[in-house]
Each structure stands twice: as structure tokens, then as C-alpha cells.
Amino acid sequence: MIGISTVRDRILQRFLLQQVYPDLEATFSEGCYAYRPGYSIYLAIDQVMERYRHQPAWVVKADIQKFFDHLSWSLLLSQLEQLDIEPLVVRLVDAGVRGPGGQSLFPSLCQFTQRQV
């Protein structure tokens, strides 16, 4: 069954993203360029080229299929709570991401969970 988000779902997702994103952004590696305001593929390429001139480097492009199907939700939620995000917002994130229309939070939550990799 395909989940189609309603206008209400999309408004809630946008609200949650605005509430949570500043805290998530503070944890992102400076080398992560995907789905971040002010970052682009062109900046990423420039950064790779600049670093490569100074020393050999690895460049990794990855696309993880079904990432959220295998994510430890309890770990993600506890990590959000450790960022001092209000418990109500964490519960809304949990409910909103698992429901239809959670796609607006997916990229930021994905980067947040992978920041220690």
C-alpha cells in the first residue's frame, strides 16, 4: 500500500524539520554535502578536487537502500533526546517519520544517524 501524505502531514513534517534541523546540523560532518542548505554537489566536487591536490583521498558516494527499514528507532530517538530536543517533538518525529509523508525528515535523520560512521 502506498502512503500518500496529506496537507496536514506535510505541514507537520515541515514544522518538525524546522524544530529539529538546527540541532541535527550541528552534529553533521563538514564533509557531508547532501541535502544541506547552502551546500551543493558543486561545492562537494570543489572540496574533493582541492583536497586531492594536497594529498590522495578517498571519495565515497553511497546510496543505502531501505535504510529506515533497518534503523534502530529506539537508538535514533534516544540520540535525539540527548540533543535536548523536547520530548514532545521527539515523539512527533517518531510518529511523523514512520507515517506517510516522513520523507522531508529522512535526509536529515539519515545524516544524523550516520555521523559517527
> Taking 50 as the threshold, does the pLDDT of residue 1 lie above it?
no
Assess contact for 8 and 100: CB atoms under 8 A: no
Assess contact for 12 and 89: CB atoms under 8 A: no
For 41-93, the pLDDT digits (tens) are 889 888 888 877 877 666 667 677 777 778 788 888 888 899 888 898 888 88
Assess contact for 67 and 34: CB atoms under 8 A: no
Hey, is 24 helix, strand or coil? helix
Angle at 105 between CA 19 and CA 27, to 5 degrees: 65
Which pTM does this prediction carry? 0.69
Angle at 63 between CA 47 and CA 33, to 5 degrees: 25
For 18-45, the pLDDT digits (tens) are 999 999 989 988 878 877 888 888 898 8
Assess contact for 24 and 108: CB atoms under 8 A: yes
Residue 117's Cβ-count burial label (10 Å; 0-12, 13-18, 19+) is exposed
For cell 528507532, the residue is 73
What is the C-alpha separation between 110 and 112, in angstroms, rounded? 5
